[in-house]
Amino acid sequence: MDMEDQLKKYNYNTPYRFHMPGHKGKNIFSPNEEILLYGNDITEIDGLDNLHDPKGVIKDMLDSIANTYGVRRSFMSTNGSTTSLHAAILGLTNPKDEIIISRDCHKAVYNAMILGDLNPIYLPVSRNKNTGLIYSGNLEEFETTIKHTDAKVVVITYPSYFGICCNIEEIVRVVHKYKKIIIVDEAHGGHLKFSGLLPISAEEAGADVIIQSAHKTLPALTQTSMLHINSNLDTSRIESYLSILMTTSPSYLLMLSLEKSVRFMSDNGKIRLEENLHTVEKLAKEYTRAGKIFKGRDYFLEHGVYEFDSSKLLFRLAEAGIVALYGKKLLRNRYNIEMEMADTEYINGFMTVSDDLEDLRFLFQSVDDIIRSESSDTIIEADTYANMTLTPEVSMNIRSAFYAKKTVLPLNSANQQIAGVYIIPYPPGIPLICPGERISEKWIDLINTLNQKGIEILGLENGNIKVIKDNQ
């Protein structure tokens, strides 16, 4: 089966999407007009400007986006937020610099350290014993970490993949107190500013640089990303890196998609988001079995989380004695619902302005039906992410490890070796071990445990791992 056939099959069989991208396969801009097709796939011709030197319609689009988000300047990437993050980090640091990053950052942040030959100072993350999820934001530890370093740039993630939000206003205040710059990877937060029912956005909190993946939470096509400048930074090097890293043939379909998505959110985002948020509250009460394991904002606030993005639809199936990975498969195979992710405890769905009452009702009804037919008294261990908050010993600069010669060993024979690759459990997609970090028995045991639970481990190939060659 070729890709076209597979895509046709998916679109035919899976009408209910609770995963990225945020448009959910729907053209909510112009339902009767196919605007994002071949006719609009063009190159830089007269009247249509150049993303690498915008002076016309693209400049107008970026100015409009900046006005919508209330920031000084906005840039866009058609290479996704990976390029935006790389450009921001490389544009604000110099080789050999230290950089302060939260350990729960996306792999793209770590790759920026390889590109820029940077050395990390890690901000600790914690696991909430009640929710079982990882979060960052211990303000006392945060301030202690950053005040004793000359590093000038701090990078954090807000909100998390699961919707957990730290006290971003206080974090920004502390960063600025020590005269540092804060970059916020707000890949999952491009929608926040459009409703008062959602957490404050990073741009409203005063962060200096904000990166957003429009395709995650807005109805935009995959690879659309925004980079906002929210303070009086010199952006010349950031702009240079955007030009270096981004394709010289940016897609006009992606640019058009972003323009229409931001405009749609400006005109309709508040109404559509809040209608859906209220609908979710009602459905959680109506479908009592699903509602009992549905974890919304009240649940997280009661259990020590500072704030929560209620557009994340989290069902803790483990509480019904159902392994969430199995529940996700049931939703797909029985009900034609595709969720964003599942681990052993939670299934996670993304709600956007593209969803409607029928979509949301069918999701709750289906989860309710699964619990009715599949629930048991079996105890599902609530420790998927236990020990994933620790940081291994850094034995080699990450860039040096990337370029070093490597050899392949069975994971179980890799004790005290230096990792030559990332080891990333997915979900949640946070590096457990980075190139240059030492592997101990503790990490080998943890990786094997996660593997046994059905968590995919990126970086392992048939139980083998690449390590630095000739490591003593």
* Residue 317: partners with Cβ closer than 8 Å, 6 or more residues away: 293, 323, 324, 327, 345, 346, 347, 367, 370, 371, 380
Q: Are 156 and 123 in contact (CB under 8 A)?
A: yes
pLDDT at 383: 66
Residue holding tokens 């990078």? 155
Average pLDDT across the chain, whole number: 93
Q: Which of 18-32, 314-328, 371-385 has the lowest mean pLDDT?
A: 371-385
Q: What percent of the chain has pLDDT over 70?
A: 96
- Mean pLDDT across 214-234: 97
pLDDT at 216: 97
pTM for the predicted model, two decimal places:
0.95
pLDDT tens per residue across span 240-284: 999 999 999 999 999 999 999 999 999 999 999 999 999 999 999
Residue 233 CA to residue 89 CA, distance in Å, equals 13
- pLDDT exceeds cutoff 80 at 37: no
Residue holding tokens 């002076």? 55
- Mean pLDDT across 408-437: 92
pLDDT at 267: 97
- Write down all domains in the chain, each with its CATH number in brackets: 3-18+267-374 (3.90.1150.150), 38-262 (3.40.640.10), 398-468 (3.90.105.10)
